[in-house]
């Protein structure tokens, strides 16, 4: 069905139009019109097509393993809510995270419970890589990078990286660790809980609106979390003409979204810069199959862990029950012996 707004059918892959039509069909067998979501694809696809793409699995895995603290991850997800966010921002990317290197034992203490016992990658370099994100349902979380990408592979359609160039010292790394400990578990800023987020979207179209004041960080948007992290790393100056609370994921791209808006490249400190986006996750990319395999391995390991712990708990319960029955038998034997002794005394 062509889009009523532009008449285009869109690419043959899973376009937002098709996603919306499938969703509409679930509600109503015959959606009367297509709501023009493919316009988003029509406008944004050239930007994605112009990006440098890593085509082979070796290149994609090497790019993943060579990430460093301060590198930016830009996501385009396939769920309907993300698509509407992308349309509002006129952007190819609706979510962002930042890479943080940590000692695996230190990082493990900061992961959500369902990630704390994840299967650690065999590559020691990969085992040190984590992504800091603010996500729906969890809030601010630190995740092991490979496990996070694997478990979300169903929803991640495109993933680009902007590599950071510049020196990050031990003091800045320690400051980021303290920041993660401070904010992890805090909520994700959404339109209902953060009026500033609504203002940020409106500012794309009405630049005359004042910037959103810096928030208390009680809740954080994904862009706000990334910018606050970059401030701690010394990549961005502590005094700027914008606030972390006034940025959207499009701020982190090179030229995506509404023309004329602020870009992170305008504000980086001397000695720091970000390279242009490199796309290493996209429909049909070889790394998709690799991450799906990792996801299955993680699921198998979790099932094994649950069955093992469940078996140990059952054995403990059986042991306790057996001990109880043994104890009861011993008491019965003692009672019987006491009665026999009493009878013997009486006979005497």
Domain enclosing residue 79, as ranges: 51-298
Query: 25 in a domain, yes or no?
Result: no
Tell me what the mean pLDDT of segment 176-198 comes to. 83
Report pLDDT digits (tens) over 29-86. 333 333 344 555 556 666 787 888 999 999 999 999 999 999 999 998 877 767 777 7
Confidence of residue 118 (pLDDT cuts 50, 70, 90): confident
288-327 residues labelled b (16+ CB within 10 A) or e (exposed): bebbeebbeebeeeeeeeeeeeeeeeeeeeeeeeeeeeee
- pTM for the full predicted model: 0.76
Query: 139 in a domain, yes or no?
Result: yes
Tell me what the mean pLDDT of segment 129-157 comes to. 93
User: How many domains does the structure of the chain reveal?
Assistant: 1
Give the dihedral sign, CA 77/82/87/88: negative
Query: 18 in a domain, yes or no?
Result: no
**Strand 219-220, strand 187-188: pairing:** parallel
Taking the C-alpha atoms of residue 248 and residue 227, their distance in angstroms, rounded to an integer, is 10
* Short-list 271, 266, 276, CA closest to 168: 271
Report pLDDT digits (tens) over 220-249. 889 889 999 999 999 998 876 667 777 788
pLDDT at site 162:
95
Query: 8 in a domain, yes or no?
Result: no
Query: 9 in a domain, yes or no?
Result: no
Mean pLDDT of the chain: 77
Query: 205 in a domain, yes or no?
Result: yes
The residue with tokens 């800091």 is 132
pLDDT at site 259:
64
Residue 176 has pLDDT above 70, yes or no: yes
Query: 242 in a domain, yes or no?
Result: yes
Tell me what the mean pLDDT of segment 7-11 comes to. 45
Query: 28 in a domain, yes or no?
Result: no
Taking the C-alpha atoms of residue 134 and residue 150, their distance in angstroms, rounded to an integer, is 17
Residue 192 has pLDDT above 70, yes or no: no
The residue with tokens 């606030």 is 243
Quick one: three-class SS letters along 288-311? Answer: HHHHHHHHHHHHHHHHHHHHHHHH
Tell me what the mean pLDDT of segment 164-192 comes to. 91
User: 211 near 243, Cβ under 8 Å?
Assistant: yes
Looking up residue 72, the CATH number of its domain turns out to be 3.90.1720.10
């Amino acid at each position: 069905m062509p889009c009523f707004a532009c008449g285009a059918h869109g690419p043959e892959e899973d376009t937002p139009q098709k996603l919306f039509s499938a969703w509409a069909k679930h509600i109503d067998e015959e959606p009367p019109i297509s709501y023009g979501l493919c316009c988003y694809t029509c406008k944004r696809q050239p930007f994605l097509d112009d990006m440098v793409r890593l085509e082979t699995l070796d290149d994609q895995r090497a790019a993943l393993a060579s990430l460093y603290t301060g590198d930016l991850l830009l996501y385009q997800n396939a769920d309907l809510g993300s698509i509407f966010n992308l349309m509002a921002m006129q952007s190819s990317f609706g979510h962002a995270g930042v890479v943080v290197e940590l000692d695996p034992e230190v990082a493990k203490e900061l992961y959500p419970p369902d990630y704390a016992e994840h299967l650690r990658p065999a590559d020691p370099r990969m085992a040190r890589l984590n992504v800091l994100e603010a996500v729906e349902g969890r809030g601010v979380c630190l995740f092991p990078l490979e496990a996070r990408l694997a478990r979300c592979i169903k929803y991640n359609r495109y993933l680009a990286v902007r590599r950071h160039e510049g020196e990050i010292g031990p003091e800045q790394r320690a400051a980021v660790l303290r920041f993660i400990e401070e904010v992890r578990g805090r909520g994700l800023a959404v339109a209902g809980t953060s009026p500033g987020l609504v203002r940020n979207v409106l500012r794309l179209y009405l630049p005359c609106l004042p910037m959103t004041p810096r928030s208390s960080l009680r809740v954080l948007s994904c862009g706000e979390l990334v910018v606050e992290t970059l401030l701690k790393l010394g990549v961005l100056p502590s005094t700027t003409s914008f606030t972390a609370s006034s940025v959207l994921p499009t701020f982190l791209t090179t030229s995506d979204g509404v023309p004329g808006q602020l870009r992170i490249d305008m504000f980086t400190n001397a000695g720091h810069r970000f390279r242009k986006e490199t796309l290493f996750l996209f429909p049909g990319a070889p790394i998709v199959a690799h991450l799906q395999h990792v996801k299955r391995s993680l699921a198998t390991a979790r099932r094994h862990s649950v069955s093992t712990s469940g078996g140990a708990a059952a054995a403990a319960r059986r042991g306790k029950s057996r001990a109880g029955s043994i104890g009861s038998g011993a008491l019965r034997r003692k009672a019987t012996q006491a009665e026999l002794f009493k009878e013997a005394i009486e006979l005497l």
